[in-house]
Amino acid sequence: MAIVVLLRHARSSANGSGVLAGRSPGVELDATGRTQAAALVNRLAQVPLAGIVCSPLLRCQQTVEPLARARGLDPVTEDSLSEVDYGDWTGRELKTLVKEKLWSVVQQHPSAAVFPAGEGLANVQTRAVGAVRAYDARIAAEHGPRAVWLLCSHGDVLKAIIADALGQHLDSFQRIVVNPASVSAIHYTETRPFVLRLNDNGGELASIVPPEPESEGDEPPAGDAVPGGPTGRSA
């Protein structure tokens, strides 16, 4: 299987506004977000990308546009990676939502949370994990098991994917932090996923790319963890 770089969209005009944007149309990157998106070109310069897949919402498409242009890649939009459908909560101020009974369910028991006239967080995890695993298998089949690809989506969607990779119940996903323009990375194997990065906001990323083995039989079977930890050998 391949390695997926999970990118949360850069800061949007809704981030920090105190309003839950959800799937509201026309939410764009703000000035800081555009700077963050442009910086991804250099930040990922040493990471070969076999493809880019993103949420259909504008803020995600704007985030990957500079990187896609620099790499000559055409991003694929995937509805299953779209933002949570917050239903009647969409566009409302957080200071009023925190008073709703459902708020405590979202915080303490998110697997049971279903947004009025929207979707449940359990469904979000099912659709998102299904999409990332399907794309990962497809890219690995086409480009090989050392291929790296990028997925750009939204905070709660990415937290649900990461929780699954960590083997955590969805009810623990609020312990995970995913900032705007942050990078996480997962290496899927036939037996288990390995979380290589989590909420990385500026470190080097070249080391997520797996090196070619120095000789046949040089590495343990894919999916096995190395006792004592990886050696850190670079490509």
Question: Residue 148 carries which side chain, given as an amino acid letter?
Answer: V
Within-domain flag for 192? yes
Helix (H), strand (E) at residue 183: strand 183-188
Per-residue model confidence (pLDDT) at position 235? 38
Burial of 112 (0-12, 13-18, 19+ CB in 10 A): middle
- 17: in domain: yes
Mean pLDDT to the nearest integer, 208-214? 78
* Assigned domain for 74 exists: yes
Q: Does residue 230 have a pLDDT over 80?
A: no
The reply to whether 223 falls in a domain is no
**Residue 128 domain-assigned?**
yes
pLDDT category at 202 given cuts 50, 70, 90 is confident
The per-residue DSSP string of 121-179 comes to HHHHHHHHHHHHHHHHHHHHHHH-TT-EEEEEE-HHHHHHHHHHHHT--GGGGGG----
Question: pLDDT tens digits, residue range 39-53?
Answer: 999 999 999 999 999
Average pLDDT for 9-22: 92
How does pLDDT run across 122-176, given as a tens digit for each residue?
999 999 999 999 999 999 999 998 999 999 999 999 999 999 999 999 999 999 9
The total domain count for the chain is 1
CATH number at residue 130: 3.40.50.1240
Q: What is the mean pLDDT of the chain?
A: 92
Average pLDDT over residues 7-11: 97
**Assigned domain for 58 exists:** yes
Domain residues for the domain of 32 are 3-208
- Adjacent-strand bridge partners of 153: 8
Q: What is the mean pLDDT of residues 189-213?
A: 89
218 belongs to a structural domain:
no
pLDDT band at 18 (very low <50, low <70, confident <90, very high): confident
C-alpha to C-alpha distance for 226 and 56, rounded to whole angstroms: 38
Residue 231 lies in a domain: no
Tell me: pLDDT of 204 over 90: no
Helix/strand/coil for 200: strand
Q: 31 pLDDT exceeds 90?
A: yes
Mean predicted confidence (pLDDT) in 30-59: 97
What pLDDT digit, counting tens, does each position of 82-101 carry? 999 999 999 999 999 999 99
Lowest mean pLDDT among 76-80, 129-133, 162-166, 227-231: 227-231
Query: What does the pLDDT read at residue 83?
Result: 97
- Percent above pLDDT 90 for the chain: 83
In the predicted model, what is the mean pLDDT of residues 167-191? 96
